[in-house]
Amino acid sequence: MRRPTKVRTATALVTVLVSSLAVAPFANPLMAAAEQAIGPDELGATEPTGADMPTVGGNLGNQHYSALDQITKRNLDKLSPTWRTHVSAVAPASDDVGQQTTPIVIEGVIYLDTPNGGVVAVDGKSGEAKWKWVPEEFAPADTRRGVAAGDGKVYTLADGDRVVALDQETGEEEWGVQPTGPNGESLGNFDRVATVYHDGIVYAHAANGDRAAVAALDATDGSRLWHFFGGPSRGTVFTDVNGNSVDAGATWGPVLPDGTDCALEGGSTPWIHGAVDPELGMYYMTFGNARSCRTSQDGSQRPGDNLFSSTMVAVDAVTGDYKWHYQSIRHDVWDMDNVHPPTLADVKIDGDVRKVVFYGSKSGHQFVLDRTNGKPALPVVEKPMIQDSRQHHAKTQPFPKERLLPECVAWQKLDPKNVPGDPWRAVPNYNGYQPDKDGNLVFDPDSYVKADEPFLTYPSGQDHRKGCMYDPQWDLPILSTTSQNGGADWSNNAYSHKTNLVYYPYGTNPVAHWNGAAANGQRAMGQYQTGGILAYDASTGKVAWRNHLGTDMSHGQGPLATASNLLFAGQIDGRLLAMDAADGDVLWDFQTGSGIAGAPITYEIDGEQYVAVFAAGSTNPYGGSVTQGDSLWAFKVGGTYITDSGSQEGPSTAPLSIRRPVSGAPVEGSTVDNTVYLGRSSRTADTAAARDSKAQTGMQPTHLRVPVGATVKFLNPGAATFPNFPNELPHCATQFFEGEFNVKLKPGEVYEHTFDRAGEYFFNDCTDPRPTGKIEVVLTPEDRPGALHFKPSQLDLSSRTGTFTGVRGLVTAVLDVPAGYRFDDFAELETPLGGTPIAAVRTESSRGKVVVQFRKADLDNDVPEGSGVPLRLVANFVHHGEQKQVTSATEVTVIK
């Protein structure tokens, strides 16, 4: 479906934020070379790709930039699909869906991971499969992020920590190895990470394991050439190109009394692929957070900077010899590591052309480093940090002078007029920010955070934790930004030679840390999980524009830039976007029918430019709400591919869980007397462990479903409910973000609230904010057979241009409504193919009827052509002050 607006949200709950600065053409001294299409044999780190995109980063510097310019803003309305291949249907067929891979293309053939972990080669012009490999003697890997090719082979990963080489022409296995150290020691778990090839060497990264390494393998037979561990051995001194020396192992503190060396126990894994600079002869790799000795959020047993965690390391690409490192976070206890694929570029800074690498992701900022020596090419400041004496925090942390995303969460007033509010808004009660009588979130020094005060040291001018970067935590939850699932996480950058902008996809997902938090931090339940893309000037670091698209863009939704000043990016809701690279406006979009968690590619065959994307779904951060798939789509100007529905697009995907869901399935209110117990981990257990719960499930039930008009009781259970172990503390029910109610109850007290409108009402506790619940208030539809009809009843969804962008105009539905029913605020159309109902664009009430209009472009891909197509209208009304819902269905004829 195609909306006529240039910029729009993925959900009505999220406000589009677009800020623009004028972007002048970049006078790149290498521009003449940049205009030439570079073939795979001449692939370098900073030259744009041409007819092919031979690596998952486009070129060896992960620029995701192509010199192709046939697809432009002028002909974008003619860009349409030319073929679609369901890769799981290719023999040997499977029923697997979901994958995070970015394809590569060489001499017109696309190579990519399949959902079941195999590899498939697809003709880039026809979409026909050339071969498909699935291992027979061992299992495939599951989650994958891309293959590499070179020396006549394709390199992939498989189960058992295997690296496998396949014949590029036939897909036959050439070799398979399980890399180990020279004495047979484990190098970690080789899974997930894309492989990289250059000049006879395959670079493979171990994404997990007690100790994980980057390994360089001989492309001929897979034999190990060298490896580099993120957790270094004690006593090994590294001296960089600047003459600085460090015993990296010693930065993990002393060996523990039981003999444990924290550097060797876990963490510092290189879980994204690196970049190669053939001219400098260096390989650049990023290592993840420290997570050894107890947990990732407990640094008490590993005092020191913990090298090479949260660090970029440059080594000799052939020998593996250390060159330099840059640590972005010292002593990381937040899982805020910066593991974007490193992006290399030659840019002009203060009048001089500098060889730089862009480094940073989760932290919401990027360091622009000189890639010859690791020193900052753009200013970095050392900011003093709040310290917790139990954690051994570093006194300062490095911050780029120019920040890309907010450094702190926003504590916004609870108010129905302020929903959803700032994308970085915080859930109430965390960090002691509790609502006053007007709904303003105000810091309460006597709240739960008071217990940490004896251990905290504040920089001058600070006296409490505001939810900012690197706020310390111990065993109490402290909310901060960006998070282990926020910032840019593992999506790639793109760098444009035309605009000199770096394109940075991001997610917004504030997180609460404490030592026992699972998954390296708890994203606060009930918060909005959104995101977008921004662009910043590579020469200054200043943000040029930001488009907050409304869905998370930090988990594989990396952009692709082209020489025609277009930016292509996929979204997890299934849409492929084409944006103006100069200002971020959305110019074109296409619904693929399944979530996108990989970067688009572009290539040229027989003089025609194509754009392709793999839409296979994923999970982060929306879990099972993401629509999975297995479709490789290719587009060109004038493409004529038509789906089974008669539309060129796939059906709309299922709704995403934009708000972080609570734990537990819905419980019907009638089964529990419409009563929620506050501060209890069980509705029945009269035990000490169950009372005054601080668990995320400390509201019982966590998810209560009631009809509109129901009265819900919130009870702090006392001795009358649990005679042996009643609650001893007061507990709150703070509703957010509307501020519908906020009560504090002593043990035995009850509060009643009547819900007169449908919706989701999240609430949490002030005693400890982790317990979170949701009241789902629903309407029982009144079905009115025969009340719905369309004018005309034959829906003409044909295109004026022959492509999906030419489907224009409105469809008009008329619903007869009972006397006294006044239209409220909601009307949508349920279709036979779409996963999400279609929202109305216009409604009008007149004489017992409601006229509702929908865009034809929205309807096209969600209905089949032909007669007897069922459509159902759902609309909300108010009758005598009560909210009502009316539905009616009819059948229509659809022409395409």
Cis peptide before 754 (omega within 30 of 0): no
Return the exposure string of 527-544: e unless at least 16 CB atoms fall within 10 Å of the residue's CB, then b: bbbbbbbbbbbbbbbebb
> Scanning the structure block, which residue is given the tokens 């008669």?
646
Question: Strands 711-715 and 675-678: what pairing?
Answer: parallel
Distances (CA, A) of 391 to 155, 269, 386: 42, 22, 11
User: Rounded CA gap, 77 and 117, in Å?
Assistant: 35
pLDDT at 266: 76
Beta strands of 419-529 (E only): which ranges? 433-435, 441-443, 456-457, 478-480, 494-495, 501-508, 511-513, 522-523
User: Rounded CA gap, 875 and 840, in Å?
Assistant: 10
User: Rounded CA gap, 755 and 876, in Å?
Assistant: 16
Question: Are 493 and 471 within 8 A, CB to CB?
Answer: no
User: Rounded CA gap, 858 and 862, in Å?
Assistant: 8
User: Rounded CA gap, 30 and 360, in Å?
Assistant: 25
Encode pLDDT of 562-584 as tens digits: 999 999 999 999 999 999 999 99
Burial of 329 (0-12, 13-18, 19+ CB in 10 A): buried
pLDDT at 339: 87
Low-confidence residues of the chain, pLDDT below 70? 1-41
Question: Are 650 and 815 within 8 A, CB to CB?
Answer: no
Report the predicted TM-score, pTM, of the whole model to 2 decimal places. 0.95
pLDDT at 40: 52
pLDDT at 41: 57
- Which one-letter DSSP state was computed for residue 267? B
Strand, coil or helix: what is 543?
strand
pLDDT at 205: 97
Q: Is 160 left (phi over 0), alpha (psi -120 to 50) or beta?
A: left
Helices (H), 11-91: 31-34
User: Rounded CA gap, 50 and 42, in Å?
Assistant: 11
* Cross-strand partners of 272: none
User: Rounded CA gap, 800 and 48, in Å?
Assistant: 36
Question: Are 288 and 251 within 8 A, CB to CB?
Answer: no
Strand, coil or helix: what is 97?
coil
DSSP string for residues in 772-829 = EEEEEEE---EE-TT-EEEESSEEE---SSSSGGG--SEEEEEEE--TT-EEEEEEEE
* Cross-strand partners of 346: 355
Burial of 857 (0-12, 13-18, 19+ CB in 10 A): buried
- Which H or E run includes 871? strand 866-879
